[in-house]
Structure 1
Amino acid sequence: MTRIYLAHGVVLNDAELEWRTARSGGPGGQHVNTTSSKVELRWNIAESAALTPDQRRRLLERLSSQLTTEGILRIQGSRHRSQHRNRQDVLQRLRTRVAAALAIPTPRRRSRPSRGARQRRLHDKRTRADIKRNRRPPRPE
């Protein structure tokens, strides 16, 4: 049984993944018409034993637009002419999606304007106010 290392400590058994192959469409001549080089990977996130409950919740939440109603992630690959390279490509795309979904975003740190920035802002405000004041007609005395 092969182990597949994903991101954030998730290790899948190959038995959890369902691989399907099909004939790839598009140009490529006679070779494409006779070989099943297109690869489809299906992984049931909802029932995966490799995930903690928190990881499962985060994946189901963040990948919801890419999942079927049963919680199955489906990735297809037919970029390359060989089935082997398409399998590698699909696995890499799985790793990338899982890593992005499991990443915990760092909270934004609020910053303050520097002293020079505050001084420039006030100086520019005074300059604009002077320009506008000089446009007014003079007051009668």
Structure 2
Amino acid sequence: MGAEGDDRLVVTDAVRIPRYELVTAFSAAGGPGGQHANKAATRVELTFDVTMSSAFTEAQRERVISKLGEKVRVVADDERSQLRNRMIAEERLAAKLRGSLQVQRSRRATRPTSGSQRRRLQAKSERSEVKRQRKRPEREY
């Protein structure tokens, strides 16, 4: 997934976010790295306002908001390059949104098979036999 051209961030085949809806901020990454880390603004923070986006249907928007909130924020400071960090942040945002758009299928209740019930009861009786064997033998009179 990722970028298609330079104008939209591809989340799914149906959802493509216009890049002008993404708010990008840059800052120094911090951590070790000496002068480069202190001077270069390589840390990328992407903020995406779900409520104002034109990329979602109403149902999709509600699903994303319920799972991620009205604003989604992603940070990347993994690389020394601002461009690579921007690409990483965009892919993380797309992955987050993709995950929130997936609808969980409801579980269909199934009955245990007769074979599994038989095996379960067999295992229970074997276990109870093992425990019964631990008892002190009864005295005969």
The bucket for the TM-score relative to the shorter chain is 0.7 to 0.9
Q: CA RMSD in A?
A: 2.6
Taking structure 1 as the reference length, what is the TM-score of the superposition? 0.80
Q: Is the 8 A contact 2:63 2:100 kept in 1?
A: yes
Residues 80 and 126 of structure 1: CA distance in aligned 2, closer, same or farther (over 3 Å): closer
TM-superposed CA distance for 1:130, in Å, is 9.8
**Cα distance, 1:112 vs structure 2:** 3.2
Equivalents in 2 of 1:9, 1:125: separation in Å? 52
Specify the alignment match of 1:67 in structure 2: none
C-alpha separation in 1, matches of 2:47 and 2:97: 13
Q: Which residue of 1 aligns with 2:78?
A: 79
What is the CA distance between 1:55 and its match in structure 2? 0.8
Could you list the structure 1 runs, at least 4 aligned residues long, displaced by more than 6 angstroms after superposition: none
Q: SS at the partner of 1:104?
A: coil
Map 1:10-49 to 2 at 5 A.
10-49=15-54
* Count of matched residue positions in the alignment of Structure 1 and Structure 2: 134
Cα distance, 1:138 vs structure 2: 7.8
- Between the aligned residues of both structures, percent identity stands at 31
In the TM superposition, what whole-angstrom CA distance separates every residue of 1:32-73 from its partner, at most 9, and x where no partner exists?
222110111111111111111111100110013xxxxxx221
Of 5, 9, 25 in structure 2, the residue corresponding to residue 4 of structure 1 is 9
After the TM superposition, which residues 42-61 of structure 1 pair with which residues of structure 2 at under 5 Å, given as runs?
42-61=47-66
AA aligned opposite 1:40? E
Structure 1 unaligned blocks of 5 or more: 65-70
